[in-house]
Amino acid sequence: MTATPDMTPSVAALIDLALEEDLGRGDVTSTAVLDPRATAEADLVARERLVVAGLAVAAAVFQRVDRSIAVELAAADGDELAPGARAATVRGRASSLLAAERTALNFVQRLSGIATLSRRYHEAVRGTGLRVTDTRKTTPGFRLLEKAAVRAGGAANHRFDLGSGVLIKDNHLAVAGSIGEAVLRARAGAPHGMKIEVEVDSLEQLDSALQAGADIVLLDNFTAANVEEAMRRVRTRTPRPLVEVSGGVTLARLPELARAGVDLVSVGALTHSARAMDLALDIRVRAP
């Protein structure tokens, strides 16, 4: 349940955007009020029960502000923290710690929100054959970080982007014509390591997708009854395609979907509507 998002150039660029927007004109309060030689240490602590994520980014924020800040991690992404539990300790110039504080917290609060929500979904399906995945409904610029937070919570990732998975949707069919034709073209044109997934919104479309040889079918906004009927039809195929369900799926519906034998459920809310978790930085002045 570890998740160590690598510090890619894009994540570094995002951290730079974030620091520039908060610090780019200096810090008028600290500049005026603080002794520039003062040093301090501070604990990053949970203020409520949560699954933490984004610790590597928070550490990178502190060190981008001031390379001489020491960061000591006391938890790993995916750990569940009780209120008051310490996730990390940072030490260095007081003005640097205060300068980095808000940006570091903004990252970790948001990513922990996603990990915590993902954990709840993950626990609801634990022990069943159903896998909960995220979607591409992520915060612009945050996809790598948010997908790592989803994994930290225990849920799984759907395709990363438009280039790493084939998913034929209604909009493609509107342009491309029949499902059969679209699957054929996808099989011929897409890299051979990718399965062909087709989104369907009716049992008729499902039949077309199955006939076309889709590797995965995505049932969008199906009723419980239609999901069951869909599973019946899917089970007649060899090899049996994977079945994904999407469309406003709540925690409450997960047991029913698991019982029906659905393989995957994708949940946009994991990333687009998780609330921020409450974490804070408790600062202590140190003798210089």
Residue 141 engages its own copies in binding (rule: CB under 8 A)? yes
In the set 59, 109, 121, 258, which binds its own copies (CB under 8 A)? Answer: 109
Stretch 155-194 residues interacting with its own copies (CB under 8 A): 156-169, 171-172, 174-176, 182, 185-186, 188-194
Residue 136 engages its own copies in binding (rule: CB under 8 A)? yes
Is 153:122 a contact under the CB 8 Å cutoff? yes
Determine which one of 79, 134, 199, 244 is catalytic: 199
Stretch 44-83 residues interacting with its own copies (CB under 8 A): 64-66
Determine which one of 120, 143, 169, 253 is catalytic: 169
Stretch 7-26 residues interacting with its own copies (CB under 8 A): 8-10, 13-26
- DSSP letter at 91 equals E
CA–CA separation, 288 and 278 (whole Å): 30
CA–CA separation, 122 and 253 (whole Å): 13
Count of residues in contact with its own copies, rule CB under 8 A: 110
Q: How far is the CB of 74 from its own copies (least distance, A)?
A: 18
Q: Is the CB of 171 or the CB of 225 nearer to its own copies?
A: 171
| HSE toward the beta carbon, residue 38, CA cutoff 13 A | 16
- Max alpha carbon distance in the chain (Å)? 74
Is 220 annotated in the active site? yes
- DSSP letter at 184 equals H
Q: How far is the CB of 225 from its own copies (least distance, A)?
A: 24
* Helix 203-212 / helix 179-189 crossing angle, nearest 10 deg: 40
Q: How far is the CB of 81 from its own copies (least distance, A)?
A: 18
Q: How far is the CB of 203 from its own copies (least distance, A)?
A: 22
Q: Is the CB of 91 or the CB of 272 nearer to its own copies?
A: 272
Q: How crowded is residue 37: how many other Cβ atoms within 10 Å of its Cβ?
A: 9
Is 126 annotated in the active site? no
Estimate to the nearest angstrom the gap between the alpha carbon of 98 and the chain centroid. 28
Residue 127 engages its own copies in binding (rule: CB under 8 A)? no
Q: How crowded is residue 138: how many other Cβ atoms within 10 Å of its Cβ?
A: 21
Is 102 annotated in the active site? yes
Q: How far is the CB of 156 from its own copies (least distance, A)?
A: 7
187 to each of 159, 170, 177, 190, 285, how far by Cα in Å? 17, 18, 16, 6, 63
Site string for its own copies, 195-224 (x = CB under 8 A): x-x-----------------xx--------
Output the six-digit token pair for 62: 């502190």
Name beta bridge partners: 282: 43
Name beta bridge partners: 132: 265
Is 169 annotated in the active site? yes
Determine which one of 22, 201, 220, 228 is catalytic: 220
Stretch 240-279 residues interacting with its own copies (CB under 8 A): 242, 244, 263-264, 268-269, 272-273, 275-276
* CA nearest neighbour of 261 among 275, 243, 287, 238: 243
Q: Catalogue the active-site residues.
A: 102, 137, 169, 199, 220
